[in-house]
Structure 1
Amino acid sequence: MAPSNLGYSIREAGSHFGRNLTTSIGAVITIFLSLFIIGLFVVASSMVNSIIGGVEQQVTISAYIDDGASDADVAAFKKEIESWPNVKEVKFLSKDDALEKYKKTSASKADATISALDGENPLPRSYTIEMEDASQVEGTAKKLRDNATFQKIVDGGSVNESVSYGREEVARLFQVTSYIRIAAVVLVALLTFVAFIFMNNTIRLSITARRREIAIMRLVGASNGFIRGPFIMEGILQAIMGSTLAIISLELVRNLLMPKIQAGMPFFEMDVALIIYLATYGSLVLLGVVIGLFGSAIAMSRYLKV
């Protein structure tokens, strides 16, 4: 579209929009619903990723230490673990700390169990190891089991039994989260494709209704670019209006619905950063404009063939 035709195309696009108000509103609503569903699913995917990330951060390794190990060896090995790659933090639990933790996690039966112990504390000292990347837990656990220093201070002399991280549960967790992330990408791509089909068909119907107008313009010698300009601008106008409605609706969801969801499920980490919303809004506008451009160009191609 030549720059000299830009003003004409914009004026004609506005005129077409007003003259065919019902069809134009239908196109805007189609674009709005398509982009809103895509945006809603992107935000939901970000929430799921946030929840998954929170669950993954709870994956830790517990390494139990023999009561006979010296405090110096225990402290030295803690510093060694902290220097390993992928280790975020190492916490040391004394026997008293372990007993207090047991009381908190097993409140219903802790008193009876402690009374039966007659003042003795059979719980071992331990390290609790948090990782930067929880998916690498298997490698960190293997490195711990193979470490010669740990083998000297290990509880009960059994390396395998003294390293605990719920191997089967962790493997199942990462398998499920992997499936969820793949499904999210596939569904967003599918929704985008469906949105393109819907919007292209809507634009095609709008242009088909004006095929006589296009035919007359061709008969009087108008170039393809001159004919195409107003329809492309109208597609862009519809896309901007639809994407704006989608953004407003998503903002209402963010400010009105999301706080209620988070308040109802405080045990889940589902915060979605503002930058994610802003990136989503920008992507929706860009996606709408691109689909409007291509939809108009493809829909008009049959009427501009020589």
Structure 2
Amino acid sequence: MYAFLQALRALRQHTTSSLATFTTSLVSFTLLFLLGLVLWNLDRVVSSLERDVEIAAALKPTANAEAILTQIQSWSEVAEARLETKEQALAALQLSYPYLSQANELIENPLPDTLRLKLVNPQNVKQVAGRLEKLEGIAWVEYGGAITEQLVRVLGGLRIAANVLIALLMADTLFSVMGTIRLSIQSRREELRVMLLVGATRRFAQAPFVWEGLLLTLLAAVVALGLGMFAYSFISDALQKLLPFLPVLSTQDLLKAGAALALLALVLGAGGAFLATRSHLRETAL
């Protein structure tokens, strides 16, 4: 209780530096929270696209469809393989474009029998497509992995840039906390010297400053969580109205992200205060 009350007193005494550290932490935590949610959401989008990746292999009219299907089903990379006849393909097309049924009696069905594959690991789509093209009886092969591959590359670049920014924001918050704590130590220099002379341990002397750092970062994290969740909710609702198929994070996911941010605030607040007090106490030989 003593350490907590001393921390509150220090925050009141150094209002300007405390507000500066709070503002710095608030901006950093809000950006960290939103960056984390965006990257997590992009991972969900890419995973969803990868799950939907399907290889379509059109068969030549003379191909033995059942033999080719049996051969492909034995491949370890293939999770599911099925044959779609040209009649089934035409029926599905007519569901999407009903006017085609009117021309059904006038022209012959031009669609080929098609093998449709889903893979155990969607990242193997290129290799499997290459093997399919070499099979006897395959006319052509198509797969929808090109867009997914581009998204994965873009996501990789974004993740690197975001990690660099996250590291800079964390360092900025840490050094800001350390600066505020060092100012508090300077103002209580004589008081600390007396405490140590009468037998107080260094940990006892450090405790109020650690509490001060914790209060600053935790308060900033709470406000940042409120701002971040509001912003994410607004953006995700707008995106889902525009793109209903786009996956978004659930409430449970947001709570997990909030818990991670609170833990980060604890580490930066307590860690920054501890480092500042330890180095400063050594420098002044208290």
TM-score by length of 1: 0.77
Distance 1:137 1:43 in 2: 28
> What is the match of residue 253 of structure 2?
276
1:195 offset after TM fit, Å? Answer: 2.7
Does 29-38 or 274-283 show the bigger shift? Answer: 274-283
Asked if 1 retains the 8 angstrom alpha-carbon contact of 2:56 and 2:142, the reply is yes
> What is the match of residue 142 of structure 1?
130
Asked if 1 retains the 8 angstrom alpha-carbon contact of 2:182 and 2:280, the reply is no
Amino acid at match of 1:276: D
RMSD: 3.2
The percentage of aligned residue pairs carrying the same residue is: 20
Does 250-259 or 88-97 show the bigger shift? Answer: 250-259
1:37-61 per-residue CA deviation (whole Å, 9 max, x = no partner) reads 1111111112222222233334321
Distance 2:269 2:249 in 1: 29
> What is the match of residue 33 of structure 1?
27
Matched, 1:229 2:237: no
For the residue of structure 2 that corresponds to 1:304, the secondary structure is helix
> What is the match of residue 220 of structure 2?
242
1:280 offset after TM fit, Å? Answer: 1.4
Asked if 1 retains the 8 angstrom alpha-carbon contact of 2:11 and 2:18, the reply is yes
Aligned counterpart in structure 2 of residue 218 of structure 1, from 193, 200, 204: 193
Matched, 1:124 2:124: no
1:190 offset after TM fit, Å? Answer: 2.8
Does 241-250 or 174-183 show the bigger shift? Answer: 174-183
Matched, 1:164 2:158: no
Distance 2:95 2:153 in 1: 33
- Unpaired runs of 5+ residues, structure 2, are none
> What is the match of residue 291 of structure 1?
268
> What is the match of residue 177 of structure 1?
152
For the residue of structure 2 that corresponds to 1:124, the secondary structure is coil
Aligned counterpart in structure 2 of residue 74 of structure 1, from 65, 77, 98: 65
For the residue of structure 1 that corresponds to 2:21, the secondary structure is helix
Asked if 2 retains the 8 angstrom alpha-carbon contact of 1:200 and 1:291, the reply is no
> What is the match of residue 3 of structure 2?
9
1:201 offset after TM fit, Å? Answer: 2.1
- Unpaired runs of 5+ residues, structure 1, are 1-6
Distance 1:28 1:130 in 2: 51
Distance 1:264 1:175 in 2: 22
For the residue of structure 1 that corresponds to 2:280, the secondary structure is coil
> What is the match of residue 300 of structure 1?
277
Matched, 1:259 2:253: no
1:248 offset after TM fit, Å? Answer: 2.4
For the residue of structure 1 that corresponds to 2:182, the secondary structure is helix
Amino acid at match of 1:207: R
Matched, 1:197 2:172: yes
Amino acid at match of 1:137: V
Distance 2:176 2:20 in 1: 11
Distance 2:36 2:158 in 1: 12
> What is the match of residue 133 of structure 1?
121
> What is the match of residue 90 of structure 2?
99
